[in-house]
Amino acid sequence: MRLPLLIGAILSATALSAAAVSLAWTPYDIAALAIADKLQPPSAAHWFGTDHFGRDIGSMLMAGAQTSIAVALVAVGIGMGLGVPLGLLAAANRGGLIDEAVMRANDLVFAFPSLVIAILITAVFGPSAVNAILAIGIFNIPVFARVVRGGALSLWTLDFTRAAEVAGKGAARISIEHILPNVANLLIVQGTIQFSLGILAEAGLSYVGLGAQPPTASWGRMLAEAQTMVTLAPHVAIFPGLAIVFTVLGLNLLGDGLRDRLDPRSRRAP
């Protein structure tokens, strides 16, 4: 395994396992306040220190990972679930009216800066993790639709799809049996990248107060709250910041590494 892929896999696995463990156990209860212990620097008892309410930052990071990953994962799910069928449909109808309609609808979504629309959605329906998921998910749809359509278009020019037509198979069946397995590589890679972008978007929304609401832990909100104390107790801002950076970096490295690894040209049979 190449080094960047290995690093990406380790960083991503760390974030994922932190989130998984936090479901059952965190070193401290993140809802319990202990004002007496506030803003303690990292120590043996609190590895990452405590915040202005005396909560353990390490525990909050673990719980925050859970929020970030859940939001990004569901958002990627929405994007794939709707984008992939749309992309397959557009490619099967290549050059036709449906293709045109799907792609222009994609352009419409692409035309708006994603964060602005996310703010709009949460402003209208109220800030919550669910609305953040929806906002991020909607922007994943055209990304997946385009990636799948692009891959599918080149597959439709290959003779094996022609052979399937000669065998009497319809466009829907060919899309599922022949096109989908061959664009799976593209989907895995794009999925990983959208996942990291989703984490970034969730952090951004929480930072401006439009994501997960207290008492749910969130990296973005931890940053927002630490903002005023950054000169007083820098560790309160540094650790959530590092958590975001390393998770996003890890997922990007993983995505790039997987792209190289899954590229059929790099593992052509002798």
Partner 1 sequence: MSLLSVRDLSLRIHDTPVLSSVGFDIAPGDIFGLVGESGSGKSMTALAIMGLLPHGAAMSGKADFCGQNLVGLPEKRLTRLRGNDIGMIFQEPMTALNPMKTIGDQVAETLLIHRAATRSVARSAAAERLARVGLSSDRFPLSRYPHELSGGQRQRVAIAMAIALRPKLLIADEPTTALDVTTQAQILDLLTGLTAAEGMALMLITHDLAVVAGRTTHTAVMQRGRIVEQGETRSLFRQHRHDYTRRLFAASAHQPARRARDSGRPLLTAENVVREYTLPRPSFFAAHSRLRAVDGVSLTIRGGESLGLVGESGCGKSTLTRAILGLDPLQGGAIHLGGVKVAAGRRVPRELRARVQVVFQDPYGSFNPRHRVHRLVAEPFHLTGAPADLRGRVGAALSEVGLEPADMDKYIHEFSGGQRQRIAIARALIIRPDLIVLDEAVSALDVRVRAQVLDLLARLQESHGLAYLFISHDLSVVRSVTDRVLVMRAGRIVEEGATESVFTDPRHPYTRALIAAAPVIPEDWKEVAHASR
Least gap, CB of 157 to partner 1 (angstroms)? 8
Work out whether 165 is an interface residue with partner 1 (CB under 8 A): yes
Task: Please tell me whether residue 264 binds partner 1 under the rule CB under 8 A.
Answer: yes
Options 61-69, 102-110, 174-182, 231-239: segment touching partner 1 (CB under 8 A): 174-182
* Closer Cβ to partner 1, 107 or 177, answer by number: 177
Segment near partner 1 (CB under 8 A); pick from 21-29, 67-75, 163-171, 232-240: 163-171
Residue 25, CB-side half-sphere exposure with 13 Å CA sphere: 3
Region for residue 54 given its phi and psi (left: phi exceeds 0; alpha: psi -120 to 50; beta: otherwise): left
For partner 1, which stretch binds (CB under 8 A), given 119-127, 129-137, 219-227, 261-269? Answer: 261-269
Q: Quickly count: other Cβ atoms within 10 Å of residue 105's Cβ.
A: 15
User: Residue 260, interface with partner 1 (CB under 8 A)?
Assistant: no
User: Which one among 3, 166, 231, 265 touches partner 1, defined by CB under 8 A?
Assistant: 166
Cβ of residue 93: shortest distance to partner 1, in angstroms?
15
- Min dist CB 9 to partner 1, Å, is 24
269 contacts partner 1 (rule: CB under 8 A): yes
CB of 84 to partner 1, least distance (A): 16
Binding of partner 1 at residue 126 (CB under 8 A)? no
Q: How far is the CB of 260 from partner 1 (least distance, A)?
A: 15
Shortest Å, Cβ 76 to partner 1: 23
The smaller minimum CB distance to partner 1, of residues 44 and 269, is found at 269
Only segment of 76-84, 121-129, 154-162, 223-231 that touches partner 1 (CB under 8 A): 154-162
User: Is residue 181 involved in binding partner 1 (CB under 8 A)?
Assistant: yes
Interior/surface letters 214-251, b for 16+ CB within 10 angstroms, e for the rest: eebbbbbbbbbbbeebeeebebbbbbbbebbebbbebb
Minimum distance of partner 1 from residue 14's CB (angstroms):
32
Stretch that binds partner 1, among 11-19, 45-53, 85-93, 162-170 (CB under 8 A): 162-170
User: Interface with partner 1 by CB under 8 A: which residues?
Assistant: 158-160, 162-169, 177-178, 181-182, 264, 268-269
